[in-house]
Amino acid sequence: MSDKILVLGSNGQIGTELVTALRSGYGSDNVVACDIRRPDYEIKNAGPFEFVNVLDKEILKAVFEKYKPTQVYLLAALLSATGEQNPKLAWDLNMNGLLNVLDLALVYKTAKVYWPSSIAVFGPNSPKVNTPQFCTMDPNTVYGISKLAGERWCEYYHQKYGLDVRSIRYPGLISWKAAPGGGTTDYAVHIFHEALKKGSYSSFLSAETELPMMYMDDAIRGTIQLMDAPAENLSIRSSYNFAGVSFTPEVLAAEIKKHIPDFKLTYSENDPRQEIADSWPKSIDDSYANKEWGWKPDFDLAKMTADMLMNLKK
């Protein structure tokens, strides 16, 4: 029997690229893209698509019933900056969406569930440099609070019911294919678009704000690598620390100037996202991911910048 894979929240920044990667690996008909909105991307027409609201358990159940998935990727979420504008909705979507999927995965004997966490689980009292896998976690955004609670639920369902749940704490993700989804690290995507369109960019984060980031190609590869890893190799059922490259707006701008010498970076003040960024790590220790499932990023800052500009120019 072939794998049937559901990707819930398939239209987002991660979902659009994950669906493409999974379809190339498992075959288009075996990967079902699911979202609350009609997809804009041609690739979605290359395989099955279902309208699904993860908070509507009956519709969700009907999709599980129809496809009997062996793997489910739950990507539907409200991100950090957007979540602060509507905290109750963010909690509802991020938490109850997860619980609905975990419950149905048990009923339909889904072999593996993937759910993304985030560096937002760390807070003001977490170590900032090489933030370890296990440390103080005191998130101060509703997004981070929901992700930390979600990690505990994932671990609970694994320990209590034997459900094979897997998770990664994503850093800021940088991609040229899809628009960012309302996160605190979005400047690192917008800056490339503006550099090419206007030759300048006004950053909402300060010059010295260093944050962990990752190129989307690495994020997708790492996600599938974790899902393909033998279960007996995995010791962490909350969520794995996952690292790519850390930089500040100033450092990123300097790299862009190597390609666009006249590029100008300015800074706007009093943006609420600055406070969120200040509570997050500057760099991440992902030695568990490296040791247990062989994780290593391919893209450093120079390679990522060159690839972003080349693809956006097209």
User: What pLDDT, in 10s, does the model give residues 100-134?
Assistant: 999 999 999 999 999 999 999 999 999 999 999 99
Residues 11 and 152 placed together within one structural domain of the fold: yes
Look up the CATH number of the domain holding residue 81. Answer: 3.40.50.720
> Does residue 167 carry a pLDDT above 70?
yes
188 falls in which pLDDT band (50, 70, 90)?
Answer: very high
Residue 43's pLDDT band (cuts 50, 70, 90): low
How confident is the prediction for the chain on average, in pLDDT?
95
Do residue 233 and residue 270 come from a single domain? no
The residue type of 254 is A
Which pLDDT score, from 0 to 100, does residue 277 have? 93
228 and 254 in a common domain: no
pLDDT digit string (tens) for 261-298?
A: 999 999 998 999 999 999 999 999 999 999 999 999 99
**Total tally of structural domains belonging to the chain:** 2
Side by side, the strands of the sheet bearing 211-215 are 172-174, 211-215, 245-247
Confidence bin at 182 (pLDDT 50/70/90):
confident
Q: Do 50 and 190 belong to one domain?
A: no
Q: What is the mean pLDDT of residues 37-44?
A: 69
**Domain match, 190 and 133 both:** no
Last residue of a domain, one of 201, 223, 241: 241
Instruction: Please list the residues that pair with 241 across neighbouring strands.
Output: 169
Same domain, 76 and 152: yes
Q: Is the pLDDT of residue 42 over 90?
A: no
- The burial class, CB within 10 Å (0-12 / 13-18 / 19+), for 61 is middle
Q: Are residues 66 and 161 in the same domain?
A: yes
- pLDDT tier at 41 (50, 70, 90 boundaries)? low
Give the pLDDT of residue 8.
98
Domain interval for residue 74: 5-171+215-241
pLDDT at 1: 62
Identify each DSSP E strand in 30-124 by its residue range.
Answer: 31-35, 49-51, 71-74, 112-114, 117-118
How far is the C-alpha of 112 from the C-alpha of 22, rounded, in Å? 14
Q: Does residue 54 carry a pLDDT above 60?
A: yes
As a whole number of Å, the CA-based R_g of the chain is: 19
Other Cβ atoms closer than 10 A to 269: 7
pLDDT score for 116: 98
Q: Kindly state the average pLDDT of the residues 158-185.
A: 91
pLDDT confidence of 184, banded at 50, 70, 90?
Answer: confident
Give the Å distances, CA to CA, from 132 to 34, 51, 295.
34, 39, 16
Q: How are beta strands 172-174 and 165-166 bridged, if at all?
A: unpaired
Query: Would you please indicate which residues are annotated as catalytic (active-site) residues?
Result: 143
CATH number at residue 285: 3.90.25
Instruction: Indicate whether 123 and 257 sit together in one domain.
Output: no
DSSP 240-308: EE---EEE-HHHHHHHHHTTSTT-EEEE----HHHHHHHTS-SSB--HHHHHHH-------HHHHHHHH
Q: Residues in the chain, how many? A: 314
265 and 292 inside one domain: yes
Segment 212-222 mean pLDDT: 97
Check whether residue 309 and residue 190 sit in a common domain: yes
136 shares its domain with 115: yes
Q: Are 175 and 216 in contact (CB under 8 A)?
A: yes
Q: Are residues 128 and 208 in the same domain?
A: no
SS3 211: strand
CB atoms within 10 A of CB 227: 18
